[in-house]
Amino acid sequence: MTERLLRAAIAVLALAGAAVAAYLTATKLSGAAPVCATGGCETVQSSRYSELAGVPVALLGLLGYLLLLGTAAVRDDLAAALGGAVALGAAAYAGYLLYVQASVIDAYCQWCLTSDLLLALLVPLTLVRLLRN
């Protein structure tokens, strides 16, 4: 996979993640219930774990995805390193939140799981890009 194709794939996945995170941020800030097939989205969204120091976790996710999108736009070693670090950090935190959904909240959010999947795809792509630079 070429550098250009890697960056394009990272950009597409980051854009999808930003859309998910923007939706969750909007529902959280407006107090609206997210559309949910699993029935657990509202439970997860209203839990104490949906905020970190008063900031919605979805907003942090949105900022992270936008940062990943920005790193994909730049052909640079620093951008590749930053993208890898952001993806790894986000995936680690998402893993913690998945554990919380399963064992503490006992509810799953389909939007959160979608974000988890996107991060699981972004991590190897950003690391391959980093290792090639």
Q: Which CATH superfamily is domain 3-132 in?
A: VKOR domain (1.20.1440.130)
Interval 22-71: pLDDT, tens = 999 999 999 999 999 988 999 999 999 999 999 999 999 999 999 999 99
Interval 82-110: pLDDT, tens = 999 999 999 999 999 999 999 999 999 99
**Residue spans per domain, the chain:** 3-132
Closest CA to 69 of 56, 95, 87, 89: 87
Three-state DSSP at 52 gives strand
The token duo for 74 is: 């730049």
Distinct helix (H) and strand (E) counts, the chain: 5, 2
Amino acid at 64: G
